A = this chain, B = another copy of it.
Amino acid sequence: MSRVLVTGFGAYAEEADNPSGVIARRFDGQRIAGCDVFGRVLPVDTESVRGALANAIECSRPDVIVITGVAPGRTAPALERVAINVRDFPIPDTDGRTPIDEFVEPGAPAAYLSTLPVKAIVAGWRRAGIPGYVSNTAGTYLCNQTFYLARHLSRETSARVGMVHIPVVPSRAFEIGSPPPPSMSMDALEHAVSLAVSIAVQHDGADLRIGGGAIS
């Protein structure tokens, strides 16, 4: 393993300073577990996200791809287990589009399973005192779409591909409601994603019974 792509999203709706985008920018150019990390901020735009992601993959030729995105209401970082071939947006993207019951990729599989070692990452988080869990749905908005596209675009490679959903940060939480939704500090989120990357890079793939042929 030698190259890692970490993506986050730019501003959208009320998330002016999207922490997933902050993470991607901070990671760009760093080295984690001996690998060069490429951090890329993707648009919250159901049409242009495909090209932006394809371009990022082409430029970085990654062995590991970690998509990150914010999901208000989550209590801790979540390793997503599956990306589904569905776009059913509860709110518009930044260009005002709200696809309902549309495919991400017409003709492609109904879903892709994560090829990250999700259980090993959660175990590693716990050893580091970070709560986290495996989630069985990434929703039907841009996070799921991007995770699906990352798996689809790299399906003929041996890249390990997955997604981490993160809670909002504290300074955003109190704008949302009272009581506020759960939150975690930027430092904790950055630490969680960094650990996910290093565990994914170093994992020998042995117990990845679920995760498919991409890891052998």
Chain multiplicity (copies): 4
Decide yes or no whether A147 CB sits under 8 A from chain B.
no
CA distance in complex: A180, B192 (Å): 15
CA distance in complex: A185, B180 (Å): 16
A124-170 CB contacts (< 8 Å) to partner B = 125-126, 129-137, 139-140, 170
Which of B84, B129, B184 has a CB less than 8 Å from the CB of A82?
B84
Interface residue total, chain A, C-beta cutoff 8 A: 49
- Least distance between A16 CB and chain B CB atoms (Å): 14
**Most chain B CB inside 10 Å of its own CB: which residue of A110, A111, A181:** A110
Interface set of A (CB-CB < 8 Å, partner B): 74-76, 78, 81-82, 84-86, 88, 101-103, 109-113, 119, 125-126, 129-137, 139-140, 170-171, 173-174, 178-185, 188, 207, 209-210, 212
